[in-house]
Structures are given as C-alpha cells and as structure tokens.
C-alpha cells in the first residue's frame, strides 16, 4: 500500500538510485472494493485512515515529491495491472480508475508513465474467445497458487490458466505472459531518450 511505501521511502532515498520504478496501487484499490477487503488490510497493516482515491493520489504525489526532492533519480511509474480479467467487473473497473489516477499524477509531476493496465486491457481485447474471469477476494487462492508453484513443475502461466486467467496467476499478480509484457515496456522506457 502507498502508506507503507511512504514509511519505507527513506531506505530507498539513502541508496541514491539512478532510477526508481513504482508499480503501486493494487492494494490501495483492493481496499476500496469492500469493507471486508479494507478491514483485512487495516488489521494486517494497522491502517489508521480509510483508503480512498484521494488518499491514493495524495500518497503517490508525496512519494514522487520526496524522491524528486532527495535524489536525482529518474522516476518511472506504472499503472497498476488489471484486477481480474473481466473488463465489465467492478474490480477491473476500479483498477482502470486507479490507472487513470496514476496517469494523471504522472502528468502533473512530469514523470515517466508506463501504461501497463491499458496495454493488458488491449491485449485481452485481442483475445475475444478467452474466458474473462473476474477477481474474487480469496487470500487462500493466492497462497495455494504459490504453494503449487513451489511444490510442482507448473509454470506461473500453467497456474494462471488453471485458475482461469491468461495474464495473471491468481487474479492479482502477473504470470510470465503478463511479466514479459511489463518487462518489454520497462526496457523500452529505459532505452528511450
């Protein structure tokens, strides 16, 4: 969550990095989906304030401003990935909204922006026969997928497919297909003037 990044940012600043990549927002947006999701994060990370679009934007701005003020690093911010792969579902639409908010912050702060959400959305549109499975809150599914990865010969792609996803493993995290897309976008950003 952005609030944790703010708490740990000094350790990044002390490294005097040349580049800082930020891929954040998924946990913030998940905390806005339901009271149950928020309560889980509030308990886990001792959150004091509600998570909202405004708090996300405020924290993202603070993160970027602190990095700009205290380092000479080039800051590159990615939109959060899709949440589930059903573009009509509420979680997917929330992830789209947080991608829009991220893009707006990057434009105002004049930092590089990687449109990961938008790219994955377009890629999903190119696969019309692919079943579009929505995100459903299930911490168990995430841990079960991780356990299967480390206890079998299944790849992240295999596990994503067994869970009903093409670019994700568990409705949240990228598999190898999604990771390759993101990797290519990072390389293009690094190689551009």
Closest-CA residue to 173 (of 95, 114, 111, 56):
95
pLDDT in tens, 71-94: 999 999 999 999 999 999 999 999
CB within 8 Å of 106: residues ≥ 6 apart: 77, 112, 113
How far is the C-alpha of 75 from the C-alpha of 18, rounded, in Å? Answer: 9
pLDDT at 11: 95
Q: What's the pTM value of the predicted model, to 2 decimals?
A: 0.93
Q: How many CB atoms are located within 10 Å of the residue 140 CB?
A: 8
Percent residues over pLDDT 70 in the chain: 99
pLDDT at 137: 85
How confident is the prediction for the chain on average, in pLDDT? 95
| Joined tokens for residue 185 | 């976008």
Q: Is the pLDDT of residue 65 over 80?
A: yes
List, edge to edge, every strand of the sheet that includes 74-78: 19-23, 74-78, 112-114
How far is the C-alpha of 112 from the C-alpha of 100, rounded, in Å? Answer: 14
pLDDT at 140: 84
Q: Is the pLDDT of residue 193 over 80?
A: no
Q: Is the pLDDT of residue 27 over 90?
A: yes
pLDDT at 4: 92
pLDDT in tens, 128-167: 888 899 998 888 888 899 999 999 999 999 999 999 999 9
pLDDT at 192: 81
Percent residues over pLDDT 90 in the chain: 87
DSSP state of 110: T
């Amino acid at each position: 969550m952005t609030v944790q990044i703010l708490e740990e940012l000094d350790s990044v600043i002390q490294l005097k990095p040349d580049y800082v990549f930020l891929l954040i927002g998924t946990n913030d947006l998940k905390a806005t989906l339901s009271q149950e999701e928020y309560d889980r994060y509030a308990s886990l990370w001792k959150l004091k304030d509600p998570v909202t679009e405004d708090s996300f934007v405020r924290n993202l701005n603070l993160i970027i401003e602190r990095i700009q003020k205290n380092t000479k690093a080039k800051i590159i911010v990615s939109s959060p990935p899709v949440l589930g792969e059903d573009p009509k579902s509420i979680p997917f639409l929330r992830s789209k909204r947080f991608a829009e908010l991220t893009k707006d912050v990057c434009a105002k702060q004049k930092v590089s922006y990687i449109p990961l959400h938008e790219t994955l959305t377009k890629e999903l549109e190119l696969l019309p026969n692919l079943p579009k499975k929505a995100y459903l809150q299930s911490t168990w599914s995430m841990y079960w997928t991780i356990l299967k990865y480390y206890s079998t010969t299944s790849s992240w792609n295999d596990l994503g497919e067994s869970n009903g996803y093409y670019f994700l493993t568990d409705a949240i995290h990228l598999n190898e297909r999604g990771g390759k897309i993101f990797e290519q976008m990072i390389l293009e950003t690094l190689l551009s003037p």
